Amino acid sequence: MINVGIIGTGFIGPAHIEALRRLGNIQVVAICDSTQAAAETRAAELNVPHAYSDVAAFLQHAGLDAVHNCTPNHLHAEINRQILRAGKHVFSEKPLCMTMEEAREL
């Protein structure tokens, strides 16, 4: 079983969760959103057991293997950087980042 977390639960995040669940060997274990209240509400709606509002704390979730970054475009580079530095596999919504310099760094 692969444990996946989702950062950003607006429009596209729930679509990622639905698609991942269809695979059968994926367990969505945690989500992260801009506020704790929003994260907890969405976690309950989407049947995800853990909710975070802090990316660093989310990335320390025990057993987390991979992260889907479903945040707004302007946040992609910084969050992708944090995911990579935490040693997690990353699936980023497009664009990966906003500039070529950010892409080269990642």
* Rounded mean pLDDT, 46-73: 98
Query: pLDDT digit string (tens) for 76-92?
Result: 999 999 999 999 999 99
Considering the chain, what is the average pLDDT of its residues?
97
pLDDT tens readout for residues 68-78: 999 999 999 99
pTM of the complete model beyond 0.75: yes
Q: Closest by alpha carbon to 1, among 90, 65, 86?
A: 65
Helix, coil or strand: residue 102: helix
From the list 66, 95, 70, 96, the residue with the least C-alpha distance to 81 is 96
pLDDT per position as a tens digit, 7-27: 999 999 999 999 999 999 999
Q: What is the mean pLDDT of residues 51-64?
A: 98
Q: Is the peptide bond before 95 cis (omega within 30 degrees of 0)?
A: yes
